[in-house]
Amino acid sequence: MKKNKTMIVVFLTPAVLMFCIIFLYPIVRTILMSFFKIEGVTDAVSKWEFSGLANYTKLFSTELFRISMWNIFRIWFFGGIIVMGLAILFAAILTSGIRFKNVFRAIIYMPNVVSAVALATMWLQYVFSPKFGLFKTIGELLHWEWLAKFQWLDPSHLFTALLVAYCFGMVGYHMLIFASGIERIGTEYYEAATLDGASRIQQFRYITLPLLKGVTKTNITMWSISSAGFFLWSQLFSMVVSNTQTITPVVYMYQNIFGAGNSMTERNAGIGAAVGVLLSVCVVLIFIVCDKIFKDDDIEF
């Protein structure tokens, strides 16, 4: 028995140490930093100035941060509806027995393989371009003047362009998760429903959707995490100075910690840490709500 305990300690110790060093320590340090005024993120603890809840109070009273939170909410909510809707639609089609499903699956997933920088460049220069963009060409061919003349990269429409491009790249990832869940559902359910005269739409509504509650919860959680860390696309669509139409909390956090070369925010790593804490709380709350809504304990495959 003692040998077993010794072996357990020997094997668990490296994993526990790595978890504490790589995950637990940064989390605790970030939470502590959010209560201090810190000029440099690498400053020694002796240089930290305790400010209490001042960082959080300042965040909620700063218009730029409120705009960034509103932007990330729109990305999460409206983008989530678009991505989840298209993902489950494509997953249902690809698992319905159509021919060349692997080819279509690879095509839909391909944007996830391409670098985000290359993908954003394609959208900016070859799709949204007001001179020779794809949308402009399609609008001219179909005689849709509104589409041909629509200025996607105008500051007032930049967020819409960002959302369209980002959703395009995320559908394939969530589609694969939905497809894996659908493929786990036994065919006997659909066979019985077909014998009872249920249509494909009815089968999807009363069989597929209820049995995908756990997968849906996973997808929403993954989408929330990726939305909370939304940074690269915002920077790519506002390459010179962060635009208020595309700024997100992580971009705001970056500006506070590193200065970002502009005067939109002061340099305070404590405020940046507070932003990270708030985003983490938002993700946890979303997970708790999803766990309450999508209960699948009474559903079996």
Query: 1-57: per-residue pLDDT in tens?
Result: 556 778 888 888 888 899 888 889 989 999 999 999 888 777 888 888 898 899 999
Q: Work out the average pLDDT over 63-71.
A: 92
Residue 263 has pLDDT above 50, yes or no: no
Q: What is the pLDDT, as a whole number, of residue 198?
A: 83
Q: Work out the average pLDDT over 114-138.
A: 87
Check residues 239 and 250 and name the one with the higher pLDDT. 250
Q: What is the pLDDT, as a whole number, of residue 264?
A: 52
Per cent of the chain over pLDDT 90 is 30
Q: Work out the average pLDDT over 128-151.
A: 86
d(CA 59, CA 278): 10
Q: What is the pLDDT, as a whole number, of residue 202?
A: 87
Residue 296 has pLDDT above 90, yes or no: no
**Which residues are CB-contacts of 273 (< 8 A; sequence separation ≥ 6)?**
30, 31, 33, 34, 38, 55
pLDDT mean across residues, the chain? 86
In angstroms, the Cα distances linking 262 to 19, 35, 248, 252 are: 36, 24, 16, 12
Residue 173 has pLDDT above 90, yes or no: yes
Q: What digits encode the pLDDT tens for the residues 182-191?
A: 988 888 888 8
Residue 269 has pLDDT above 50, yes or no: yes
CB contact at 8 A, 65 and 50 = no
Residue 260 has pLDDT above 70, yes or no: no
Q: What is the pLDDT, as a whole number, of residue 204?
A: 86
Q: What is the pLDDT, as a whole number, of residue 69?
A: 93
Per cent of the chain over pLDDT 70 is 93
Residue 301 has pLDDT above 50, yes or no: no
The tokens describing 203, both together, are 């089968």
- CATH fold for the domain made of 54-293: MetI-like fold (1.10.3720)
Q: Residue 37: what are its φ and ψ, rounded to 5°?
A: -95, 120
Q: What is the pLDDT, as a whole number, of residue 86?
A: 94
Q: How many residues does the chain have?
A: 301
Q: What is the pLDDT, as a whole number, of residue 70?
A: 94
Q: What is the pLDDT, as a whole number, of residue 239?
A: 61
Tell me which amino acid residue 279 is. L
Q: Work out the average pLDDT over 108-116.
A: 87
Three-state DSSP at 287 gives helix
